[in-house]
Structure 1
Amino acid sequence: MIEFIKCHGSGNDFILIDEIAHNFTFSEDERRDLSMLLCDRETGVGSDGILFVLKSDVAEAQMRMFNSDGTEAEMCGNGLRCVARHIIEKEGRKHVQIETQKAVLAVEQVEQIYGGIDTFAVAIEPVSFEAQSLPMNFEKTEALDEVFPDLADDLTFTALSVPNPHIVSLVDEISEQKLKETGGKANDLPSVFPRGVNVSFVKILEHNKIFVQTYERGVGLTNACGTAMSASTLVSTILGSNDIGKPIVVINKGGLVNCVVNKEERRYSIQLRGNATNVYTASIEVDLAEKQWKWIDSVTHQDEIDTYEELKKYASTQI
């Protein structure tokens, strides 16, 4: 039997499995197979990925995030908020640290971004504009506001890792169809992006307010991607007029978050602030050998669902 929490950050939804609490010892193959089986929106539970919470020797817990196609992401900002909430409530503390693939990151509960929405802040780092950090094969060491002819002749992109690989384009209007086509092309170019890449279109709404939509590597079009919103905030600050050190409102199809870009000497860091909503808790039986699963029990957290819907409606009026 597997117990899990179905949760989301900005509509980016996950299955959270606490391997520590339930004494699970999944193998790497089992984590991959569970992700492909359970994340399927037609035959599975349905989610963008699975968050596995493991023991850590250097932090309160370790987070590993597997996409719906079974691949593992270096980081996941929306998922990290969900894990942050889980560990903060478990530990009974406001500040904890979570180990991710690339860094040990500080997470904390902060002032609500919307009434009734418990808000969690996570550090998004390390940040790098070096092409090799994505990795990306490019003629220059960095790609800042550059045209990638293989993707689109009429768009410019900035490439950065946070530490997930991202390319970001500032646009006047966002076309989902063009984003889907561009994201598909980018992830079918292993000669340029050997490990794939997340592609975001960003529309500047007003000073310190942007709208972001993302084609997420291993997932496709998403309601929101935490590292993409963070990367997009940074790019809109460098190439636009958004402020360093002040909250920037980031609207997405799943709601909204706040991002704060900080700079110390030549080093950037980003803090991502937003919800971590628990939709329901559940128990299931899984037979990985037969690729089958069945429900045992579930409890819906309707109050959290209703409160987040209010935020989502508000966010839709800000576009």
Structure 2
Amino acid sequence: MLTTNLLKVHGSENQFFILDQTALATPLSAAELTKLAQTICKPTSLLGGADGVLVVDESDHEDALGRMEVVNADGSRASMCGNGLRCVSRYLSDKFHQDSFRVETPAADLMVNRELDLAPNVVAFAVEISPVRYEKQDFPFDNLGMDKIINQPLPELNDHLKFTTIAVPNPHLISFVKTDADLNDTLGTLGKQLNAKNPYFPDGVNVNFAKIIGKNRLFVRTYERGVGFTNACGTGMSATSLAFALNYPEMVDIEKPIEVTNPGGMVKTIVHPNNTKQWIQLIGNATFTAKVELPEEMLHQGSITPDEATITDTGEESAYQAFVNSLPQN
């Protein structure tokens, strides 16, 4: 019986399985990947499920060590995932013994670098988040009366908040809020509305609400397209950091990192908002929590039997939790 390995990983507790297609006897088809993600990401599945599957393939692009495809828990594809890219970057770095390289994604080849560990046994990577786009066709959005949305009221969506739309290239709707009611109830209601059939964002949209904690400090919570509420969204925190610099320049020193806390921990971002090519650097953990050995046939069938899987805990999650508990409380 052919066996293969999955890795259970997370960036800021945004949970994934890494599947290296190059290690399989027969790579999974697109339909098989969809079914696998829909099965293995369920909370009742292996290791409590996940937010998605990170699929690693070979790349024929110059300087790219590999290609990343993101399959969400519902089987849909994301054009990018910042937290996932950090984890795939670590996987490729360990595999090929390189610390600085590019990873091919559907939208762009992105530069990644190994960083100093955030804490003992908490590995960190910095990844490029780009390209940055604002035009409505990049989301798309419609019936909102404008081609770009930068710190604008949108009465069609809410009666008291202002919104910014930035695609990186995942589409993000961003609002800076002051109350816990908005951060929880309003975010949940709006996120669910805009990711069901609606006249404003027909393909759905990631919705990010942020609280300004202080200069260069944010708290961000995300309702993620294809997932729902998530512990963290790397592209969401990156897009929100850029919106922070654009909308509240007096609160951002772009020469210094922005500290972004989230329900799953903390990352740092460095925004480049004024160049002809806008981009964001996202710096955070790439934690491997478990190695899973299982029959390859299970992956093709999209039917996972936990009893037939051999799970090895890495011990990294306890180190990550110690790091999170050491962070100052807001």
Question: What is the TM-score with the length of structure 1 in the denominator?
Answer: 0.94
* Mapped contact 2:37–2:53 kept (Cα < 8 A): yes
User: Unaligned regions of 5+ residues in structure 2, if any?
Assistant: none
Q: Which residue of 2 aligns with 1:76?
A: 81
Q: Which residue of 2 aligns with 1:12?
A: 14
Pair 28,78 (structure 1): closer, same or farther in 2 beyond 3 Å: same
Q: AA paired with 1:144?
A: I
* Mapped contact 1:279–1:305 kept (Cα < 8 A): yes
Which residue of 128, 133, 137 maps to 1:132?
137
Matches within 5 A, 1:60-75: 60-75=65-80
Shift of 1:189: 4.3
Shift of 1:170: 0.4
Which residue of 244, 254, 259 maps to 1:244?
254
| 1:253-290 deviation per Cα after TM superposition (whole angstroms, max 9, x unaligned) | 10100000013534310000000000000022417658
Q: Which residue of 2 aligns with 1:282?
A: 292
Aligned to 1:112, what secondary structure does the other structure show?
strand
Q: Which residue of 1 aligns with 2:152?
A: 146
Shift of 1:298: 1.1
Give yes or no for the alignment of 1:270 onto 2:280: yes
| 1:2-57 deviation per Cα after TM superposition (whole angstroms, max 9, x unaligned) | 41000000000100011113344111100100000100012444000000000111
Provide the C-alpha distance between the structure 1 equivalents of 2:138 and 2:278, rounded to a whole number of angstroms: 15
* Mapped contact 2:28–2:300 kept (Cα < 8 A): no
| 1:200-228 deviation per Cα after TM superposition (whole angstroms, max 9, x unaligned) | 11001010111000000011111100000
User: Unaligned regions of 5+ residues in structure 1, if any?
Assistant: none
Matches within 5 A, 1:1-319: 1-45=3-47, 46-58=49-61, 59-137=64-142, 138-174=144-180, 175-240=183-248, 241-285=251-295, 286=298, 289=301, 291-294=303-306, 295-302=308-315, 304-315=316-327, 317-319=328-330
Aligned to 1:157, what secondary structure does the other structure show?
strand
Matched residue count: 317
* Mapped contact 1:287–1:293 kept (Cα < 8 A): no
| 1:33-90 deviation per Cα after TM superposition (whole angstroms, max 9, x unaligned) | 0000100012444000000000111021000011100000010000000000000111
* Mapped contact 1:113–1:257 kept (Cα < 8 A): no
* Mapped contact 1:113–1:258 kept (Cα < 8 A): no
Percent of residue pairs bearing the same amino acid type = 37
Shift of 1:149: 2.6
Provide the C-alpha distance between the structure 2 equivalents of 1:278 and 1:136, rounded to a whole number of angstroms: 37
Shift of 1:139: 2.1
Pair 139,24 (structure 1): closer, same or farther in 2 beyond 3 Å: farther
Greater per-residue helix proportion: 2
* Mapped contact 2:245–2:273 kept (Cα < 8 A): no
Aligned to 2:80, what secondary structure does the other structure show?
coil
Provide the C-alpha distance between the structure 1 equivalents of 2:241 and 2:44, rounded to a whole number of angstroms: 33
Provide the C-alpha distance between the structure 1 equivalents of 2:134 and 2:299, rounded to a whole number of angstroms: 43
Please report the RMSD computed on the Cα atoms of aligned residues, expressed in angstroms. Answer: 1.7
Provide the C-alpha distance between the structure 2 equivalents of 1:116 and 1:296, rounded to a whole number of angstroms: 26
Provide the C-alpha distance between the structure 2 equivalents of 1:290 and 1:148, rounded to a whole number of angstroms: 42
User: Which structure carries more relative contact order (alpha carbon 8 Å, separation 6+)?
Assistant: 2
Shift of 1:195: 1.5
* Mapped contact 1:180–1:215 kept (Cα < 8 A): yes
Aligned to 1:224, what secondary structure does the other structure show?
coil
Q: AA paired with 2:311?
A: S
Shift of 1:185: 1.1
Pair 281,136 (structure 1): closer, same or farther in 2 beyond 3 Å: same
